[in-house]
Amino acid sequence: MCESQHSRDCTPPVHKLPKRLIDVGSASSTIKLVLGQDLPMGDSRYATLSHCWGSKLPIRTLHENVTTFSNRIPLQQMPKSFSEAVAITQGLGIQYLWIDALCIVQDSVEEWEVEALRMKDVYAGGVLNIAASDASSADEGCFRNCADRGEEKAVTFEFGDESGIARLAVKISTGDFRQATKRRMLSTRGWVLQEQLLSSRVVSCMYPELHWECKRIYQTEGGAQHHKSAPSYFGTPRLFWRSSVDSSQWMWWSWMQDFSSRNFTFWKDRLPALAGITQHYATLFGDAPVLGLWQAQLIGDLLWVRLGKHRTLSDEDLHIGSLPSWSWLSCPAEIMFDFWQISSSTSQRYIVNEDHSALIDFQLEWSGPQLTSMISSALLVLEGPAVEASIQPLQNGRPANPPRLLLTAKAQGSNAVQCVGQFDAKDPIPAIYTCLLLRSRSHSETGARRSMFLILESVKDDTNLHLYRRVGLGCLSEQFSPLDDAAPRRLTLS
């Protein structure tokens, strides 16, 4: 139905074929790797597989077996998710299938970095994405028969007369059925977000039924349907009451909040796993990426706060290149953007946002291909009102999250003011910090006001630059704050 009725909206754009594909042919065919460059572009439809690798894969393409797999891939050596994806692809009459573990040489760093950058086109160009939604490893299969998790319950009704009794089973599902895929194992994995966002069509294989989503419809195997009034990208957020922020920015924030909550086997993969989504957003809106932030909306993007505790990372993961303190990617915890609002019930027509700082320059140096390799160095130059201030936890009163703080500007005669703030790495430590005012938000009728500021500390550097490191984000609710009359300063953040 999708191909016949939604062809204009859901047909994948024409892209260059992936470097390799798996030729699945028919059930009696030899399964093997083929080069995309050797295939006719117009007639080479392919499916893709989204899956959790698990702790170990029984089969991967390596330098030592890539030639062998180009002649034949033993089906009996494939884990269950792979072999079932092959069967689905064959059953739909699609000749080719793309699976990351088999179509990218896994022990080639150079190929992996290049192909990771092309994954946007790989998933966007496939006619169907097969999602093994319930499997925590490739061995568990696309059709894992999970125990009842309480999400669906069946109620049986009997009706009839002396001529006979009829029974009708009605399945009751808790929650919004369109959110069911987001509660599955697959949606906890960081790499999978780009696969969910970029694929034109997704069939989610999960207990107890299949779910289908394309840009026009969401439908369950049981018949529940949600028709979309206009084509949409998977994962596009519902725009909440914060309508004073541009919808494209809220789209990015929603994606990144989701991304920050997901897990990775190797923490260093977060940069390349974000590459396809970054390219996709840049194509949609024409902005320049700045390590999980965007040049045109950078002041707003800096308004991220840590929500939960830091993940426990290995020593190797903690040393993942020079990720700068100002990027949320350096914080191994779930994050949220634009946390402090005046009121969730306030009509946005009364809300006025004012940016007090501006981006002057940014410098990014990559060790290899942009977006997929490690960062060699990253600097951000901002200019805005800044003061030196003492910040310490407020001792009295009940605990709050984010914590209540006491801020005292170093200027002569300054009084202490209360504020709230979240430190990026740990609980607040009493010290002298540099506070840079980013944005204020005020209510035009009531006069209520919020002023958000970066909490920075000076760092020693071998160069002649005087650098600062972000350590947190704060919010002042005073009508007049110590930052209002601060002189503008140009600060370089590392």
Structure confidence by residue, pLDDT tens digits, 108-139: 989 988 998 898 899 999 999 999 999 999 99
Q: In this predicted structure, what is the pLDDT of residue 147?
A: 46
Residues pairing with 432 in the sheet? 390
Question: Considering just the CA atoms, what is the radius of gyration of the chain in Å?
Answer: 26
Q: 374: which strand partners?
A: none
Confidence (pLDDT) at 237: 39
Question: How far from chain centre, in Å, is Cα 433?
Answer: 31
Rounded to two decimals, the pTM is 0.86
Q: What are phi and psi of 3, to 5 degrees?
A: -65, -35
CA atoms within 13 A on the CB side of 316: 5
pLDDT at 149 over 50: no
SS3 119: helix
Tokens found for residue 325: 């303190």
SS3 351: strand
Per the structure block, which two tokens stand in for 320? 């993942």
d(CA 215, CA 228): 7
Q: Which of 440, 435, 437 is nearest to 468 (CA)?
A: 435
* Pick from 357, 394, 363, 392: nearest CA to 378: 363
- CA angle, corner 208, sides to 206 and 209, nearest 5? 70
Beta partners for 467?
459, 492
Question: Looking at the predicted structure, is the pLDDT value of residue 33 above 50?
Answer: yes
Question: What integer is the mean pLDDT of 317-343?
Answer: 84
d(CA 485, CA 432): 19
Predicted pLDDT of residue 398: 72
Burial category of 448 from C-beta neighbours within 10 Å (exposed 0-12, middle 13-18, buried 19 and up): middle
Query: How wide is the angle at C-alpha 474 spanned by C-alphas 469 and 479, nearest 5°?
Result: 135
pLDDT at residue 434 is higher than 60: yes
- Rounded to whole angstroms, how far apart are CA atoms 49 and 448? 51
Q: How many residues does the chain have?
A: 494
* pLDDT, position 211: 92
Confidence category of residue 381, pLDDT binned at 50, 70, 90? very high
Instruction: Report, as an integer, the average pLDDT of 284-296.
Output: 95
Q: What are phi and psi of 110, to 5 degrees?
A: -65, -45
Q: What is the pLDDT of residue 150?
A: 46
Q: What is the 3-state secondary structure (H, E, C) of 212-227?
A: EECCCEEEECCCCEEE
CA–CA dist 112, 105 (Å, integer): 7
